[in-house]
Amino acid sequence: MFELSAKPIGLDLAHTAKVVRRALDDAMIANGGSLPVWSVLISVKSRQFGHQRQLAESVGIQGATLTHHLNAMEADGLLTRRRDPANRRKHLVELTPSGEALFLRLRETAIAFDRQLRTGISQDELDHARSVFTRLRANVGGEGVQTKDEAEAEL
């Protein structure tokens, strides 16, 4: 027989992630974007993922879902897609001036949200939390374990 003396950490973590994700999405929506739009903008802006397939992997969504977001963002004038001259089967994704402006606005939103999230938490506590998050991901065989520098580079 299996007994739990305390709430499972996985459930607590999942609930916390859901609450924080919803609050961040709400903040992004209030400033003209959304969490998926922000994820695409930051990935394109970083120029690490110019091709759609790489972009889908970096954002962590299926290709068809990414295509839906890209279609909407292109229709809104936030980005352009064009064939890669070196490989016509691939599309290059680039931000337009409107996309750049939205990126800057949402970056400020993300910074303010991060500041709010850190309220009352010391740097030592944050470092410890990141260490625990890394261990939790490793315990479930999670890939893409992010370093502190990588996380900070996203902002």
Residue ranges per structural domain of the chain: 15-119, 121-155
Section 133-140 average pLDDT: 92
Residue 83 backbone dihedrals phi, psi, to 5 degrees: -65, 140
With the C-alpha atoms ordered 122, 124, 126, 132, is the resulting torsion angle positive or negative? negative
Highest mean pLDDT among 3-17, 30-44, 102-116: 102-116
143, burial (CB in 10 Å: exposed 0-12, middle 13-18, buried 19+): exposed
Indicate the Cα dihedral angle 97, 107, 153, 40, nearest 10°: -60
For residue 104, give both structure tokens. Answer: 């800057």
Residue 151: predicted pLDDT: 46
Residue appearing with tokens 């064009």: 82
The amino acid present at 95, given as its one-letter code, is L
Q: Which of 38-42, 61-65, 109-113, 122-126 has the lowest mean pLDDT?
A: 61-65
22: nearest Cα among 136, 155, 30, 7: 30
3-state secondary structure at position 81: strand
> pLDDT band for position 22 (50/70/90)?
very high
Q: What is the pLDDT of residue 32?
A: 94
CATH of domain 15-119: 1.10.10.10
Question: How long, in residues, is the chain?
Answer: 155
For 35-82, the pLDDT digits (tens) are 989 988 988 888 765 566 777 777 777 667 888 888 999 999 999 988
For the cut 50, the answer to whether the pLDDT of residue 150 exceeds it is no
pLDDT score of 11? 92
φ, ψ for residue 95, nearest 5 deg: -80, 145
